Structures are given as C-alpha cells and as structure tokens.
Amino acid sequence: RKFPIYIQIAHDTLAWLTDNFFTDEAYADGYLPRIDLNNKFAFNNFMILESISSLYQLMEPIIYIPNWYANYTYDVFIDRVYNFLNINLRANQSVYINNSIVEANVTGFIAWCDRDLKNPINETRLVDNSLAVLTLLELYNQTGNSEYLRRANESWLYLNATFWDPVNNGYMPTNKSDTNQTRDIAGNFLAILAALQINQTNLINLNITQNAFKMANETFYLINSTKEIWDTNASHEGGYLTLVELVEGAWNLTFSYKDTQTNALGLLSLLKFYEITNDTAFLNQSKLLANLMFKYLWDSNDTGFYINALANWSSFHPDEQIIKYSLSNAWALLAFIELYKITQNSTIYYQAEKIMNYINSFYINFQFKDEIIYFLGYRDNANKTNFIRPQFSYSILDSNALLIKCLVKFFNLINSTYWNDTTTPWLTDDTDFIPGTDPPNGEIMNVTLSLKYNLTDNIADANVTLNIIGLDTVEGITYQTFIYRVNASFNSSGNNLYIGEFINISTAENIIICIFGINTSSPALWNIYRVERLETSLDHDLLDVFVTSPIAIKNKKILPDYEIYEGNHYRWKEFIIGDDRITINVSYGSVDSILGQPVTPIPDAKVNFEILNPDGSLYVNRTIITTKNGIATISFGPTRDVDEAIGIYNVTIIAERGPSNTDPKIWYARAVTKMYIQVGLGIYIVSVKNLTDFTAQGDLFQCNLTLKNDGNDPKNVTIIAHGDVFIENSTFTNYTMNVGYSKLIVLVKVDERTIPDRSYNLIVNLIFQQKYINNETRLVPVKNSTYPERMGIPTQIAEGDLRYAIIKVKNQKFLVDLNFTLEVFLPEALNYVQMNETLSQNAESYFYIPLSVKDLIPYGQYSGKIKVSWVNYSLDYYFTIRVTPDLEVGSIVTPFKLYQDQTTLLTVEIENYRSTPVRILVGVLGTDGFQPMFISSHIDAFASKTFAVPCLFRTLPWDIGLKYLQIQVYLISDNGMELKYSRIYMTTVIMSIPNILLLYVLPSISIIIILVLILNRVRKIKEVEKKKLVPETPTKKKEEESDSEKSRRKKAPSVF
C-alpha cells in the first residue's frame, strides 16, 4: 500500500484530538476526556500516551502533530503527557510495603483533577493504575528509559498492595471502603494483563516478577473457576459476566450481564497467558470466546458489536433502544488483532477487518476541504442500524486513543504478515459513480466497481461490502440521513463488474462510500470516497441571463408575474385563448460555486416541462436539454378556442443532471419549480387595493379595483364584490371594460354583528356572459366600531354631591356615524343614568356621565358598572365607589371644667366630602348662664377644617356645678341654613377666685375678729365685777410684777 489510509486516519485523529482535547496552557498540560468536560482523567491520558508512543515508533519524530500554538513532534508530547501524569496525578499518600518480596514506600495514580490542575480527587482506581503499568512498560520497551521502568514497577507494587483483597481475594475497584464489596471483572482482567507484563520485564526484581505471575494466575483462576463469572449454564454456556458482589466472603452474581469490553479484555488475558505459558488450553478458550463474541455480541445484520447482552446472550433492550459504542468495538478490535497475531488464522484476520470496517465506516468524523477528506476522530455511539445520534455524538478520548493504537498495530501486523514488494498482490478498487438510467436521475446514484490485483490488473475473486452513508449538516452538526449496505461477490472467471443498487441521495449533501473487500489471498481492501451533492435551483438570478427564472414570454417580451399563487409560486395572466403562443424560459444552476462564479450554470441537464390543462389533464410533456448557459426553453400553443381551454395551466418543471461532466464525485441535486399560466379572454382583474388599512363594524369599506382588457374590443362585464361579513354587496352590471386599463371604486357594507379584530375575505368576481372569469381576494381587517377608553371614575361620592365619570369614545368608522349608549348601573346607591350619544365619522370625544347618590341609603362601599353599548356589542367598566355624608364632624374637644366668667375655646373638626367648597356655621349653646357663641367659615372641596369656638358662663356666683353644653353645626347654602350636627355635652362650672374671696373668705375673717374682741371684753367685765365683790389683798407675787407687764396692761385697747 502507498501511504495506508489506516495510518492517515490514525495521524489525523491524533492531530484532531491534540488540537481539541489537549490543554496547551501554562502548567496545565494533559488531555480532556471530552470537549465539553473540564476534568482530566488518568485513564484517558495513559490511553493517549500509549497511542502517541505507537505512532512515534512507526513514524519517528519527523512527523509533527499540528497544533495551533506550536508544532510538536510525537516524542515532545510523550514527555508532556507523562510529566502531567507524574506531577499532577500522583497520589499524595504513599503505601508502605514490608514483606518478603520488597520493602518500600510506593504511590499510585489518582483518578482525576480539574482542568486547571486544582481539586484533585483523593481516590485511586484499579483500572488507572493497571493501565499505568501497561503504558509505562510499553514506553520502556520502546525507549529503554529506566524512568518508565521505575514508575511502572512502583505502580505495580502500589496496585498490588492497595487493591488486592487478601481475605476475599480478587482486586477491589478503588481504594474506598464503600466499594470493596464488588468485583469489576474488566478491571481485574486489566490487573492480570499488568501483572503478566511485569512478569515479562527482565530488569525488574525476580521476586516481584514471579509474584506478579502468581497474582495474575490466582486472579485468573478465581474468575474462571467461579461458574457465575465464566458462564457454565448449559443453556447459554460461555462468556464472562461483568460484575459480582461479595456475599459472606463468596463471589456472588446478583445481577450481571455479558458485555463486549469485559470479554475482549478476557480474550486478551487468555492470549497473554498462552504467550507466556504456551499452554494450548488458554489458546483454545480464547478461540471459543472469540467465536461466542461473534456469534452473540456481533450484529450479523447491521454489523458492529453491541455493548452488552444478558447472561443468556439475549438483548438487554428492544432494537430501537440498542446502542453500539465505539469503545466496546475498539476493545474487541484490539483482542481480535492479538488473536490473529498469534493464530495467523485468516478467518480471524477478516473478522478483525470487519470490525475495523464497521468502526471506520460509521463512527468516524469527516471534514472536507479542497476535495480532501480529513478525519476528525471517532464519535461515541450509534443506534442499532448505525445512525449516529447528534445529541450523543461526542468524540471521547478513550475510544479514539484505543483506536489509534489498533490502527497502528493492525497496519504493522498486516505488513509483517503479507507485505512483499514483488510477489504479494494487493487488492485495489476501480470505482465510479453514475446516474440512474431512468428519471429522476439527479437523485439516484449507482456505484460501479471492480476489485483487482495491483500487480496484474486482473479481476480478483473477492467479496465486497459497500457502506453508503448520507450526511447532512445543520447548524454545524453533521446528521446521518441514510445508510445503504450492499454486499456482492466477484468472480474472476465470471462477472467482472458490479453495479450497485439504486441509491436515492436526495436527503444528503455529502455521500460517503466505504468499500470493504476481502478474499483469501490478499490483505483486505478498505477505501473511502466522497460524493458531494450540490444544491441547485430554478428560481434564482443566473449570470445575468434573466432577471428571474422561470419566466413567461409573449411577443418576445418578458412578462411580469402578478401575484403569489399557492404559497410561493407566481402566476402569469397575459395569454388569450386561441391567439397567443406561450414561451417559457428557465435557468438551471448550482447554488454552490465551483467555477469561481456567483452561481454556476449547469449545461447538458435534462429539464422536463409538464403542463396540465385547467381540468387537470395532460397538455404538454417535453424534455429539453440545457444550453451551455444552463438555459432551457419551451414554446407551445396557441390553445384551442373553446371554453374548456380557459383557466389556469399548471406547469411543473423538473431539472436534473446527476454527476458533472468534469468530476463524477460532484453531483447536482434535482431542482423542481412550478408556474401557473392563465389563458382566458384577455380580460381580468389586475389588482384590488384597500383604500384604508382596516374597516369597522357597520362601516362602508372602499377599495380600488383595476381591470385590464387585452383584447381588441370593449366588453360588457359584471363585477360583484362580496364576502362573509359584507351584507350590502357592490355589484356593477353591464360595466364596459374598454381596451386597456379600467379603474373604479367598490363600496361594501360591513355587518354590524361582525366579530371584531379579525380579518375577512373580500372577494371580487369578474363575470362575462354569465361565465366566471377570475376573482381577486383581499383580506380586510375589521375592528370594533368603537374602542371606548376609561379615563376616570370617582372612587368616592358624598350625599347630595354631583360627580362625573369620564369615558373617551372614538368612532372607528370612516364613512358612517356611530350611535351608542352610556349607562350607569349601581341600583343600591346611585341614580340610574342613560345617555344616548352620536359621534360623527372617525371622530373621538370625551363624555361626562353624572353620578349622584340616592336618598336615604347607608353610607359605605358599593360596586357598580358603566356600560357602553353599540348595536349588539357592549363594553363594561366595573368600578367601586364609597358613599359618604356630605359633611362629617370629627373630633370635638370640650373643657372638662369651666370657670365662671372666663372664656374657654372649644375645637370642632369638620371634613367636607363634597367636590365643591361649603360654608359652615358652628354654634355653642347651653343652659342659663352660657353665652351663645357662633363662628362661620368656608371649607374647601375634599378638605377638613378645625373650628375654635369661644365658650363663656356668666350668672350668679353660687350658680355652679354640672351644666349642659350644646354644639351645633349648620350648612349654609342659597336655600338657607341646614342643621347638620347637634349634640349636648356635660361640663362642670366652677366658681371663679374673686367670687370665692368676696363671698366666703372676707366675711369669715371679719366674723372671727369680732368674736375675739367680744370675748375679750366679756372677760374684762367679769374681772371688774369680781373685784367689786372681794377686797383686794395684795400679795407678794403682785408686788413682784414686772414693770413691763404693767406697761402692757396700760396700753390694751378698748373693745369699743
């Protein structure tokens, strides 16, 4: 082979992965597992590290990996990924080992970290560290770098010390205690492969290598001796189940299944044991397992391995729910490559090639640039019939990395097995793509091919499979639109050419043809072709040949199209029955530019014109070949001069070319268009134009009608304008259409009962000699006759007051007055009001509706409505209003005690609820002694005021105690004074201080003084009388009386 396509796919895939998955950021190397994820996993990066190493060994550093930042050779990327793993994903906790084999502190690899190397998970997994051993030993074997050997040995020791369960045996999936009750069989097979690879590495300590084989053998024995894992059920014997749980120390199958990946890893383990031990039992079981996989897990109809099956080999899901994963198929491919490497059995080889063909045909991403196919990795999954689901079509790093390894390994294996420059012929294909022999050939593709030997050019005995896949791109996502699978056989002594089935390619923009050919004497052929289907059109500008395409021509003049008909096709109306010959020109071109022009004309294409009579019968069916400018022209007519020939002729135009003249891999899509040719008497309605954008209920609607007479004589016609909601039709009888154009105004009356805010058809019919000629229909929006607008409704009204609700009304009619009624409904509180009003055409005005309160109703909150009515339509405005008294006396402050003859102020707060100012008189009256006091003042509308009224009690000094005080409020109007409030209050009248002094204090003091003087005089008189009766005998005491006492007695006043 020249530069094999398998290696091109491997190189392109690695380049694409590096460009999209590798984070070439400062201190943040490593590959992401998927474009839309932000974690970096150890397993993925060990996978890709081994893939890079495989390509490096094949191509050496002369081949570069394209990268937007720099061009790096493979060996540079090996170092960068290894450093990322070694620095960022090494566990930060070591395990101390001290046994008869080794004493050391060792560490393993954690599962993952963030994109920017933060938040590493504190978890190590069996699969990561098993793959680390395998990858690092592979790197060591390729480079001889002892660093890889040291790390591989340490990872193995860590793996064996961390994950091996010494009590229940087998390897646990993680270092977490909550997972040690399960056994992942696929993970244990990876650990077995790692142990066997350690065993085969010479420079590792002999005790370690021997112990590694012991651990591998013990684990393998556990798996194969446990009947629940290697299925021994006679009804569905064979195959490895996937997952077991520990129940009381025993490996127990609670629920499990047989999946492709687990059995592929089991097959690899069997082959590795056979390679080391040369025990044919391992080889025999590997062959048995391979046969079981192809018998039960391989889809014999649509090809490809299922992800899994139940224990009895039946499907997990119904067909519509089955998914096939590229990763499962990649592991199976690797297993079958290794099986072929050992057995050299061509059946196994061709099975491996079938798997490779399936993967390369259905999972690979393509990019087309300058007619070159670039491979952009493999997608994740497909359904049973191999359709990729766009919403789940991510490319994942695992399957891509593993498939790169498979592609390189397969290429190396086939070269070492078959390659011989002079003696071994290789299969080559001679493939061409031709259109179908029957119309429509632009959408039908045939594939013709033959398989030959490259040295002899002889037809080969071979079987061939064609996978033909249609692809369409929508918003950057490529969808599969169809899949054809064609199987054929070649016989060198018989047929030497295979013609493919008819393949309809109308739903695809790119068609991928994957050719897979095999025979018993040569390596398989796998090749890929792309056919590009270019969209075409009959309805676009084409190199300035015509302004539009298609076009109708009369008297060598291009006729204008008049209207859109049946959605998006135009109608031409210029042709007269029995007189005119009709010519149609159409331009056929490619929308995509392949000749450097804006649009590429397509010559030598077939353009079929099918023309139907007005009754649907066939009139013309003719195929025209396009000119070098892509133009096809047809002429027909004149039509018969009979009534049946009047009407619309449906013209369907189908243009198709198939492959281009210059490149059979460029196909032109079929283009279809329609046109409608009207043939008649030469009289017709040209247009109906509304004079206003809308009309209203009950209005007169106007439109301009344009007619045309293409004949030579005037014609008397009848014109009727009508419609579902137009109750007064406009009819013109015996209207004379002169030659040329005629214009008139049509008036129709709109039904008052029409449902508003909708559009209705106005139909204008043209009738000649009681024969319908044609009509024009216009949509007429009909609005309400009026759109009243609530401008303001009071929320409060006072007893005896007059308020107004304001309603704005507009007449929507252009030519008719509007009559309407305004009514107020609130029977519990307000007087009924009805106003009959008229608005002139297209006018608007404000209307004031009086609101007044009924007599003797309770004050409070009421709900009512204002109704606007016109014809049989109405609009209600609901409102809430509070009815209040016209005046309300609020707080009154009177004195608790009142002193005689002293003026005191009383305060009275009064609130005016009316919409107009009022004059108020406030008076203070009382029992005898109270002086009448009155104060008068204005209170503004909806305002309150506090009145301060003087109060004075003046009467006899002893007239005190509890007194009555009366407060009165009067409303003063033109009709006099109306008492609005009167109430009696009690107050205590207290004597004033001057009266107390005059009446009580001064008289009391005078009486006391008089009494004292009288008593003193009486005492003196008694003493005198006593002296007269008894002679005075002086005593010693009297003699000693002081001079001061004598003097005091001499000065005593007389009582008189």
Condensed to tens digits (0 to 9), the pLDDT of residues 202-219 reads 999 999 999 999 999 999
The residue type at 629: N
Contacts of 879 (CB under 8 A, 6+ apart): 793, 795, 805, 863, 864, 865, 866
CA distance 249 to 168: 5
Q: Which residues pair with 31 in a beta bridge?
A: 22
* pLDDT of 194 above 90: yes
* pLDDT of 466 above 90: no
Using 50, 70 and 90 to split pLDDT, how confident is the model at 1042? Answer: low
E strands, 670-817, are 671-680, 683-690, 695-696, 700-709, 715-723, 726-737, 740-750, 758-768, 771-783, 789-792, 796-798, 802-810
Condensed to tens digits (0 to 9), the pLDDT of residues 422-431 reads 555 677 888 8
Q: Which CATH code fits 425-533?
A: 2.60.40.1930
Q: Which two tokens stand for residue 674?
A: 């329609």
SS3 of residue 321 by DSSP = helix
As to burial, measured by CB atoms within 10 angstroms (0-12 exposed, 13-18 middle, 19+ buried), residue 372 is: exposed
Condensed to tens digits (0 to 9), the pLDDT of residues 647-677 reads 889 999 999 888 887 777 888 888 899 999 9
* Mean pLDDT, residues 583-609 taken together: 77
* pLDDT of 292 above 50: yes
Q: Under CATH, which architecture does the 683-783 domain have?
A: Sandwich (2.60)
* Helix, strand, coil tally for the chain in percent (to 5): 25, 40, 35
Whole-number pLDDT of residue 930: 79
CA distance 512 to 494: 29
CA distance 97 to 81: 28
The residue type at 581: R
Using 50, 70 and 90 to split pLDDT, how confident is the model at 392? Answer: very low
Whole-number pLDDT of residue 569: 73
**Topology alike, domains 536-680 and 887-991:** yes
- Class in CATH terms, 887-991: mainly beta
Using 50, 70 and 90 to split pLDDT, how confident is the model at 393? Answer: low
* pLDDT of 970 above 70: yes
Q: What percent of the chain has pLDDT above 70?
A: 88
Whole-number pLDDT of residue 152: 97
Using 50, 70 and 90 to split pLDDT, how confident is the model at 326? Answer: very high
Condensed to tens digits (0 to 9), the pLDDT of residues 347-391 reads 999 999 999 999 998 888 877 766 677 788 888 888 888 877 654
Whole-number pLDDT of residue 856: 86
All structural domains of the chain with their residue ranges: 1-88+272-419, 425-533, 536-680, 683-783, 789-884, 887-991, 1006-1051
Whole-number pLDDT of residue 438: 63
SS3 of residue 827 by DSSP = coil
CA angle 208, 210, 212 (to 5 degrees): 65
As to burial, measured by CB atoms within 10 angstroms (0-12 exposed, 13-18 middle, 19+ buried), residue 772 is: exposed
Lowest mean pLDDT among 25-29, 533-537, 1001-1005, 1049-1053: 1049-1053
Query: What fold does the segment set 536-680 form as a domain?
Result: Immunoglobulin-like (2.60.40)
Which residue would you say has higher pLDDT here, 435 or 829?
829
Give residue 290's Cα distance to chain centre. Answer: 47
* pLDDT of 66 above 90: no
Give φ, ψ of 659 to 5 degrees: -70, 155
* Mean pLDDT, residues 301-320 taken together: 86
Whole-number pLDDT of residue 853: 93
Condensed to tens digits (0 to 9), the pLDDT of residues 812-821 reads 899 999 999 9
Lowest mean pLDDT among 46-55, 387-396, 438-447, 463-472: 387-396
* pLDDT of 712 above 90: no
Condensed to tens digits (0 to 9), the pLDDT of residues 577-595 reads 877 889 999 988 887 644 4
Whole-number pLDDT of residue 497: 58
Whole-number pLDDT of residue 423: 53
Whole-number pLDDT of residue 25: 66
* Mean pLDDT, residues 928-939 taken together: 85
Using 50, 70 and 90 to split pLDDT, how confident is the model at 544? Answer: very low
Whole-number pLDDT of residue 621: 94
* Mean pLDDT, residues 551-565 taken together: 80
What is the residue-averaged pLDDT of the chain? 84
Condensed to tens digits (0 to 9), the pLDDT of residues 850-888 reads 999 998 889 999 999 999 998 888 889 999 999 999 888
Condensed to tens digits (0 to 9), the pLDDT of residues 947-961 reads 888 888 777 777 777
Which residue would you say has higher pLDDT here, 898 or 312?
312
Whole-number pLDDT of residue 1054: 40
Lowest mean pLDDT among 109-118, 270-279, 544-553, 908-917: 544-553
* pLDDT of 543 above 50: no
Please tell me what DSSP assigns to residue 1016: H
Whole-number pLDDT of residue 133: 98
Nearest to 917 by CA among 946, 938, 888: 938
* pLDDT of 40 above 80: yes
Which residue would you say has higher pLDDT here, 1030 or 791?
791
Condensed to tens digits (0 to 9), the pLDDT of residues 433-462 reads 888 766 556 788 888 888 877 666 677 778
Whole-number pLDDT of residue 576: 81
Q: Under CATH, which architecture does the 789-884 domain have?
A: Sandwich (2.60)
Whole-number pLDDT of residue 73: 73
Give residue 190's Cα distance to chain centre. Answer: 43
* Mean pLDDT, residues 518-539 taken together: 83
